C-alpha cells in the first residue's frame, strides 16, 4: 500500500471511530459493544498473524510488553466507551488529543534522558487550559458530561502510561505482535467483566449497532493499527503526529452532520487550545531551533554593519 493512502486511511479511521463507538452501544449497552468489538478484533488479528506467519515471541521482555499493552488497552477502551455515553463523539476525539502531551509528560518522569523543555511545558499548559474550557462548556450538556470528561482523562492517562511502560521495557516486539497479544488479553478480561456485572445479552442487535461493532472490530482495531504502523515506518514521527491535529476537527464535524451533536463556542475554543498545545508541544522547540540560526545571522550582520559605520566615522574624524 502506498504511504499517502495509508496516511489518509489512518485519518479517516481515527476520525470515524468515536462516532462508531457511540453507535455500537445503541440499545445493547456500551459493555456489549466493547466486548463484541474486542472479541472480533482478537479473532481477526489471530487470523492475520497465522496467515502471514507472524511469530509472537515469548521471552520475558515480550510477555511484559504484552501485559502492559493489554492492561493499558483494557483500561483505556473501557473508560472511553463508558465516557461516550455522557459526551458527544467529537469530544472523545478532541480529549484524546491530549494523549501525546500526557505521554510526553510521563516519559520525562519515567524514561531516562527525556525532559520537558519550556516549549513542552507551555504546550502542556495550553492543553490543560483547553480541558478546563471544555469542562466549563460541558455544563450545558448536563451534570453527566463532567463524568464523561473525567472518564476520557482517565483513558488518556491509562493509554499514555501503557505506552511509556512499553517504551521502557523496549523488548523489540513488532507492532502486529503487540496488538494481537493486547487484544487477546483485553477480550477475555471484558468477557469476565461482562459475566461479573450480570448484564444480559441483548435479544436483538440493531443494524447500525451491529455494523459499527464490525467496523470497529475489523477496521478500527486491526486495519487502523496496521496502517498506523505502516505509516510510522515510512514517515517522520513529527508528520505522523499531525494526524492527531486533524482528526478531532473532522470528528467534531462528523458528529454534527451525522449525529446532530451540539457545537457550542466553548467546544471550539477548548479544541483550539488543546490543538494549539499539541502543536506547541510537538513542534515548538523545533521551530525555535530553526529560527535561532537566522536570528543569529541577522544579529551578526547588524554588528558588522555597526562596526563598519563606526570604522567609517573614525576614518572621517581622523581626516
pLDDT at site 226: 76
pLDDT at site 266: 86
Per the structure, the complete domain to which residue 278 belongs is given by 3-318
The answer to whether residue 150 scores a pLDDT higher than 90 is yes
Closest CA to 41 of 199, 175, 173, 225: 225
pLDDT tens, residue by residue, 73-115: 999 999 999 999 999 999 999 998 888 888 888 888 777 777 7
pLDDT at site 57: 93
Contacts of 34 (CB under 8 A, 6+ apart): 24, 25, 77, 78, 81, 190
Closest CA to 16 of 263, 253, 262, 240: 253
Concatenated DSSP letters for 156-183?
Answer: HHHHHHHHHHHHHH-----HHHHHHHHH
Q: How many CB atoms lie within 10 A of CB 166?
A: 20
Cα distances from 45 to residues 3, 50, 107, 131, in angstroms, run 22, 9, 29, 35
For residues 93 and 11, the answer to whether their CB atoms sit within 8 Å is no
Q: CA-to-CA distance for 69 and 189, rounded, in angstroms?
A: 13
pLDDT tens, residue by residue, 181-216: 999 999 999 999 999 999 999 999 999 999 999 999
Quote the number of domains for the chain. 1
Q: CA-to-CA distance for 159 and 73, rounded, in angstroms?
A: 7
- pTM across the whole model: 0.84
Closest CA to 226 of 270, 187, 174: 174
pLDDT at site 6: 86
The answer to whether residue 308 scores a pLDDT higher than 50 is no
Least confident of 11-25, 221-235, 286-300, 303-317: 303-317
The answer to whether residue 72 scores a pLDDT higher than 80 is yes
The answer to whether residue 161 scores a pLDDT higher than 60 is yes
Amino acid at each position: 500500500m502506498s504511504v499517502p493512502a495509508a496516511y489518509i486511511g489512518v485519518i479517516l479511521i481515527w476520525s470515524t471511530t468515536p462516532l462508531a463507538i457511540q453507535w455500537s452501544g445503541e440499545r445493547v449497552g456500551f459493555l456489549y459493544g466493547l466486548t463484541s468489538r474486542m472479541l472480533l478484533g482478537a479473532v481477526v488479528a489471530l487470523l492475520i498473524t497465522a496467515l502471514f506467519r507472524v511469530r509472537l515471541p515469548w521471552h520475558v521482555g515480550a510477555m511484559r510488553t504484552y501485559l502492559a499493552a493489554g492492561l493499558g488497552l483494557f483500561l483505556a477502551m473501557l473508560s472511553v466507551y463508558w465516557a461516550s455515553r455522557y459526551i458527544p463523539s467529537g469530544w472523545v476525539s478532541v480529549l484524546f488529543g491530549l494523549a501525546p502531551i500526557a505521554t510526553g509528560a510521563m516519559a520525562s518522569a519515567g524514561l531516562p534522558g527525556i525532559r520537558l523543555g519550556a516549549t513542552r511545558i507551555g504546550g502542556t499548559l495550553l492543553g490543560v487550559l483547553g480541558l478546563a474550557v471544555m469542562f466549563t462548556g460541558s455544563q450545558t450538556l448536563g451534570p453527566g458530561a463532567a463524568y464523561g470528561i473525567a472518564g476520557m482523562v482517565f483513558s488518556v492517562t491509562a493509554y499514555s502510561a501503557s505506552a511509556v511502560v512499553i517504551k521502557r521495557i523496549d523488548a523489540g516486539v513488532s507492532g502486529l505482535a503487540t496488538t494481537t497479544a493486547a487484544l487477546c488479553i483485553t477480550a477475555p478480561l471484558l468477557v469476565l467483566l461482562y459475566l461479573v456485572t450480570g448484564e444480559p445479552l441483548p435479544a436483538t442487535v440493531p443494524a447500525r449497532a451491529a455494523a459499527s461493532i464490525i467496523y470497529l472490530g475489523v477496521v478500527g482495531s486491526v486495519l487502523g493499527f496496521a496502517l498506523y504502523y505502516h505509516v510510522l515506518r515510512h514517515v517522520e514521527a513529527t508528520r505522523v503526529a499531525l494526524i492527531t491535529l486533524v482528526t478531532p476537527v473532522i470528528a467534531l464535524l462528523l458528529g454534527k452532520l451525522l449525529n446532530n451533536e451540539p457545537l457550542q463556542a466553548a467546544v471550539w475554543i477548548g479544541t483550539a487550545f488543546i490543538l494549539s498545545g499539541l502543536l506547541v508541544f510537538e513542534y515548538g522547540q523545533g521551530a525555535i531551533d530553526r529560527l535561532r540560526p537566522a536570528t543569529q545571522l541577522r544579529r551578526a550582520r547588524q554588528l558588522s554593519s555597526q562596526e563598519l559605520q563606526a570604522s567609517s566615522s573614525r576614518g572621517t574624524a581622523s581626516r
